[in-house]
Amino acid sequence: MMKRLLMTLVVLTLGLGSSQAQDVKREITRVTGDVYRFQNQFHVNMFVVTGAGVVVTDPINQAAAKWLKAEIGKITEQPITHLIYSHSHGDHASGGTEYGEVPNVITHRNAPEDIDLVEPTVRFDDQYSFSVGGKTFELTYLGPGHGSDMIATVVRPDDVAFVVDVVSAKRLFYRDFPGSNVDHWMDQVRKVNALDFDVLIGGHGSAGVKRDAEQGLVYLEELRAEVLQGLKAGKTVDQLKASVKMEKYKNWAAYDTWRALNVEGMARHLNESGAVN
């Protein structure tokens, strides 16, 4: 009896071990009545069940989109009618074919023609809006900064904004702002803050509110000012990575891993842009 029990435990443990290797954290949260937040590991999208079809956003990747499509099928019998790509970076914009034949696919004009093997039906310049099943979707181009084809989507009447990578709720900015002009990036955050919304669904991190986007800009402005002051005083980047602590933000996500990288990226940008002289 004892031996058999031990055998069972061993088998169970092995079973857990092998499934853990492919364990992907996926979670759907209902943010307001018809607006949902889907998290796949560290990436998030938004989908909306309108009265006449489902509007989805970034597929994230093939497995995520396949899983989400099946889950949406459990929530509603309505088809997916619209797909909005926040921008073309592959970690958000991959696997859209898993959503099936979606009649309306919307990107910014600057998105590549071959985005995600899906042919966009709408490419817009500054603003685009459409209404479906009692919801209105207001899409706004955020300008260059993080990427060159970034758009924010606001859903009415829910007043929920979906904003990817440009700003996240209570979370530091991505590493050293790779490949980006940080002043342009800050302009993107200002454009987000100029939008009228209550709830923020970020492409990363937890859901938040308008104030979180505003605080994101305050963080960037304080970081910029402190790093610029240090560079003007002749400090090295390594010295600034040690001294610019941004302690007000130590409870934000990624503070321990990305604070020094944020300092480094800001310093690089300020040096390259000639702001120091």
Nearer residue to Zn ion within complex by CB, 159 or 183: 183
CA atoms of 223 and 61, how far apart (whole Å):
33
Min dist CB 206 to Zn ion, Å, is 18
State the nearest-atom distance from the C-beta of 193 to Zn ion, in Å.
Answer: 19
104-108 vs 122-124, strand pairing mode: parallel
Shortest reach from residue 203's CB to Zn ion, in Å: 8
Which residues 41-70 are close enough to bind Zn ion by CB under 5 A?
none
| For Zn ion, the closer CB: 72 or 220 | 220
Q: For residue 111, report the phi and psi dihedrals to the nearest 5 degrees.
A: -65, 145
Where does this chain touch Zn ion (CB under 5 A) — which range of 47-55, 155-163, 164-172, 249-257? 164-172
Q: Which 3 state secondary structure label does DSSP give 131?
A: strand
Among 66, 89, 123, 241, which residue sits at the site for Zn ion (rule: CB under 5 A)?
A: 89
Q: Does 165 bind Zn ion (CB under 5 A)?
A: yes
Nearer to Zn ion, 165 or 176 (CB): 165
User: Using an 8 Å Cβ cutoff, are 270 and 228 in contact?
Assistant: yes
Helix (H) or strand (E) holding 106: strand 104-108
What's the farthest any 2 CA atoms get from each other in the chain?
A: 80
Angle in degrees, CA 54, 134, 27, rounded to 5: 35
Burial of residue 57, with CB atoms counted within 10 A of its CB: 0-12 exposed, 13-18 middle, 19 or more buried: buried
Q: Which segment (15-23, 155-163, 165-173, 240-248) binds Zn ion by CB under 5 A? A: 165-173
Binding segment (CB under 5 A) for Zn ion, from list 47-55, 84-92, 209-217, 264-272:
84-92
Q: Which is nearer to Zn ion, 164 or 231 (CB)?
A: 164
Paired tokens of 20: 């853990």
37 vs 135 by CB, closer to Zn ion: 37
Q: How far is the CB of 60 from Zn ion (least distance, A)?
A: 12
**Nearer of residues 165 and 264 to Zn ion, judged by Cβ:** 165
Q: What is the CA radius of gyration of the chain?
A: 21
Q: Segment contacting Zn ion (CB under 5 A): 66-74, 101-109, 162-170, 175-183? A: 162-170
Q: How far apart are CA 54 and CA 246, in angstroms?
A: 41
Residues that bind Zn ion in the complex, under the rule CB under 5 A: 89, 165
